[in-house]
């Protein structure tokens, strides 16, 4: 944990996931739900402004932490200090001549385009379906391309294609689920204070629940593929640091799924269109508390992912031949 | 149910057949690791388990006295790295390689081979 790269990775993963998740939430959950608010409801305007702040801060943090990640990797690749990385042109070599550098260039372009599209669509009221679609694609790309900076790349043959593809989809799904929890908690907080938004809150809950169901299924399948490639044996899972961290991550994920199942099976069905306002407030408050707990568990998972990226994967730690070692 | 079993078996098969794992390790070399060859090779060729970054991967070959006998910059393409060798006599040679995988992680290792002369 003395590796500063771990911290840069943790902040970058969290910032990217929150940015992408807030954009997904705004387009797929919040705006369709806002159309159900009664006239005079104030929460849609408040939430739109809040989501814009979340995305803006998230994007800024992603760029800053992405820069730090890049510098740490350039130092490690060239075995040089912080100053030499700049004075001796290592940054350009890494940026222009390595796969990691190309991925980082592509992601910087994605982040720039995303900022431009959001700035334009935020100014323009009315129909914004085209800019929404472009923002969703760019945001998904920003999360997914994190796959190309990790253990998923480098393999030869069939694995060389399937593993990065699975990891790309895994990251987009993770951003869709974990990244939407914070905006969901914000939405539930805002509508709790406003009777005119209750119907919209119910709509948002059910939409989120359905999206969550799909993303959990996608996370399971793509996570299984990643695991088979990186820690695909019982020994690799139980006897290596990588495997044990991965098992801890899976356990946290399962707790999140259990909470989501309670939300969907027990709490959400109690939100009846003709139910009492008191009952609705109680359920919405519990859902908000659960979303906050799930977001906390998601943050823990992101920290584990940050560490996993600098830990030698279980399978190869076991099969590592003599006379060679991992020198990261 | 059957479809699920087929998908799972395909995944397991895919995982089982892939020799390559994260991080680049030496898969095989020419001359072979630890081998004795009759005549001095013109080059040392290394094949790794993953694709390499050419800008940050290198190999050095030294003779028993520690003097470099390689011709300098290695040619790197995909997962292979090759370097030319100066005309060399019998003796034991040490190969030290330094590999940066495209997944940004470094590995390094040593091996030796012997050129028999007599």
Residues A227-252 pLDDT 10s: 998 887 888 888 888 999 999 999 99
| Three-class SS of chain A | CCCHHHHHHHHHHHHHHHHHHHHHHHHHHHHHHHCCCCCCCCHHHHHHHHHHHHHHHHHHHHHHHHHHHHHHHHHHHHCCCHHHHHHCCHHHHHHHHCHHHHHHHHHHHHHHHHHHHHHHHHHCCCCCHHHHHHHHHHHHHHHHHHHHHCCCCCCCHHHHHHHHHHHHHHHHHHHHHHHHHHHHHHHHHHHHCCHHHHHHHHHHHHHHHHHHHHHHHHHHHHHHHHHHHHHCCHHHHHCCHHHHHHHHHHHHHHHHHHHHHHHHHHHHHHCCCCCCHHHHHHHHHHHHHHHHHHHHHHHHHHHHHHHHCCCCCHHHHHHCCCCEEECC
DSSP A267: I
Pick from A62-71, A139-148, A156-165, B73-82: least confident: A156-165
The closest of A103, A109, A118, A8 to A55, measured between CA atoms, is A118
B78 contact residues in A (CB cutoff 8 A): 156
User: Chain A: nearest CA to B53, how far in angstroms?
Assistant: 6
Q: Region B67-93: what's the mean pLDDT?
A: 92
What percentage of chain B reaches a pLDDT higher than 70?
Answer: 80
pTM, two decimals, is 0.88
Pick from A130-134, A167-171, A261-265: least confident: A130-134
Helices (H), A145-197: 157-192
Q: Is the per-residue pLDDT at A295 higher than 90?
A: yes
What percentage of chain A reaches a pLDDT higher than 90?
Answer: 65
Q: Flag if A152 and B49 touch (Cβ within 8 Å).
A: no
Smallest Cβ distance to A162: which of B14, B33, B56? Answer: B14
Smallest Cβ distance to A151: which of B22, B49, B56? Answer: B22
Q: Region A27-47: what's the mean pLDDT?
A: 88
The closest of A202, A196, A203, A189 to A40, measured between CA atoms, is A196
Residue pairs between chains A and B whose CB atoms are closer than 8 Å: 120
DSSP A120: H
Highest mean pLDDT among A155-164, A251-260, B2-11 belongs to A251-260
What percentage of chain B reaches a pLDDT higher than 90?
Answer: 64
Question: For residue B13, what is the nearest residue in chain A, using CA coordinates?
Answer: A228
Which are the contacts of A139, defined by CB distance < 8 A and separation ≥ 6?
A19, A20, A23, A24, A114, A175
pLDDT value of position A17: 97
Residues 244 through 303 of chain A touching chain B, CB cutoff 8 Å: none
Q: Which long-range contacts (CB under 8 A, 24 or more apart) does A263-267 make?
A: A263/A205, A263/A209, A263/A287, A263/A290, A264/A209, A264/A212, A264/A213
User: Chain A: nearest CA to B5, how far in angstroms?
Assistant: 13
Q: Flag if A228 and B20 touch (Cβ within 8 Å).
A: no
C-alpha to C-alpha distance for B93 and B30, rounded to whole angstroms: 13
Which are the contacts of B61, defined by CB distance < 8 A and separation ≥ 6?
B44, B68, B69, B70, B83, B85, B93, B94, B95, B96
Pick from A50-59, A259-268, B3-12: least confident: B3-12
The mean of the pLDDT values for chain A is: 90
Half-sphere CA count of A136, side-chain side, radius 13 A: 14
pLDDT value of position B7: 52
Q: Does A305 touch chain B (CB under 8 A)?
A: no
pLDDT value of position B3: 56
pLDDT (tens digit per residue) in B82-93: 999 998 789 999
pLDDT value of position A327: 61
pLDDT value of position B16: 39
pLDDT value of position A275: 77
Q: Is A292 helix (H, G, I), strand (E, B) or coil?
A: helix
Q: Which residue has the tokens 């720039």?
A: A112
Q: Is the per-residue pLDDT at A116 higher than 50?
A: yes
C-alpha to C-alpha distance for A266 and A261, rounded to whole angstroms: 8
Q: Does A80 touch chain B (CB under 8 A)?
A: no
CA dihedral of residues A113, A91, B20, A169 (deg, nearest 10) = -20
| Three-class SS of A212-235 | HHHHHHHHHHHHHHHHHHHHCCHH
Q: Region A299-311: what's the mean pLDDT?
A: 93
Q: Does A12 touch chain B (CB under 8 A)?
A: no
Q: Region A221-232: what's the mean pLDDT?
A: 90
- Sign for the CA dihedral angle at A136, A139, A141, A144 comes to negative
Question: For residue B10, what is the nearest residue in chain A, using CA coordinates?
Answer: A225
Q: Output the six-digit token pair for A249.
A: 């991550």
Q: Is the per-residue pLDDT at A202 higher than 70?
A: yes
pLDDT (tens digit per residue) in A144-173: 999 999 888 888 888 889 999 999 999 999
DSSP A38: P
Round the CA-based radius of gyration of chain B to a whole number and report it. Answer: 18
Q: Is the per-residue pLDDT at B27 higher than 70?
A: yes
Q: Which residue has the higher pLDDT, A220 or B8?
A: A220
């Amino acid at each position: 944990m003395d590796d500063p790269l771990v911290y840069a990775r943790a902040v970058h993963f969290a910032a990217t996931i929150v940015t992408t998740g807030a954009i997904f939430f705004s387009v797929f959950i919040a705006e369709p739900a806002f159309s159900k608010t009664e006239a005079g409801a104030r929460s849609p305007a408040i939430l739109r402004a809040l989501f814009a702040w979340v995305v803006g801060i998230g994007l800024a943090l992603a760029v800053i932490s992405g820069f730090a990640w890049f510098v740490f990797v350039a130092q490690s690749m060239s075995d040089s200090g912080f100053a030499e990385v700049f004075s001796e042109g290592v940054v350009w070599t890494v940026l222009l001549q390595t796969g990691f550098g190309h991925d980082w260039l592509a992601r910087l372009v994605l982040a720039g385009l995303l900022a431009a599209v959001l700035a334009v669509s935020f100014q323009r009221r009315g129909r914004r379906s085209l800019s929404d679609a472009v923002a969703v694609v760019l945001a998904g790309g920003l999360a997914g391309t994190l796959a190309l900076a990790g253990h998923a790349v480098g393999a030869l043959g069939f694995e060389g294609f399937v593993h990065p593809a699975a990891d790309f989809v895994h990251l987009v799904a993770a951003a869709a689920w974990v990244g939407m929890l914070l905006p969901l908690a914000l939405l539930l907080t805002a509508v709790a204070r406003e009777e005119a938004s209750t119907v919209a809150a119910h709509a948002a809950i059910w939409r989120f629940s359905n999206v969550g169901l799909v993303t959990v299924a996608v996370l399971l399948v793509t996570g299984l593929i990643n695991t088979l490639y990186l820690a695909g044996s019982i020994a690799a899972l139980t006897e290596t640091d990588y495997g044990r961290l991965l098992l801890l991550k899976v356990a946290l994920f399962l707790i999140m799924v259990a909470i989501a199942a309670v939300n969907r099976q027990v709490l959400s069905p109690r939100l009846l269109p003709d139910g009492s306002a008191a009952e609705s407030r109680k359920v919405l408050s519990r859902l908000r508390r659960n979303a906050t707990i799930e977001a906390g568990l998601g943050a823990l998972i992101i920290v584990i992912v940050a560490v996993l990226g600098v830990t030698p994967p279980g399978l190869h730690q076991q099969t590592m031949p003599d006379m060679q070692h991992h020198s990261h | 149910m059957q479809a699920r079993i087929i998908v799972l078996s395909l995944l397991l098969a895919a995982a089982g057949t892939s020799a390559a794992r994260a991080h680049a390790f030496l898969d095989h070399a020419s001359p072979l690791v630890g081998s004795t060859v009759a005549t001095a090779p013109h080059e040392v060729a290394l094949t790794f388990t993953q694709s390499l970054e050419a800008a940050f991967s290198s190999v050095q070959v030294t003779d028993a006295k520690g003097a470099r006998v390689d011709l300098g910059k290695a040619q790197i393409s995909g997962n292979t790295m090759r370097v030319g060798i100066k005309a060399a006599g019998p003796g034991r040679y040490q190969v030290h390689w330094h590999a940066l995988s495209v997944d940004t992680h470094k590995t390094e290792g040593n091996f030796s081979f012997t050129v028999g002369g007599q």
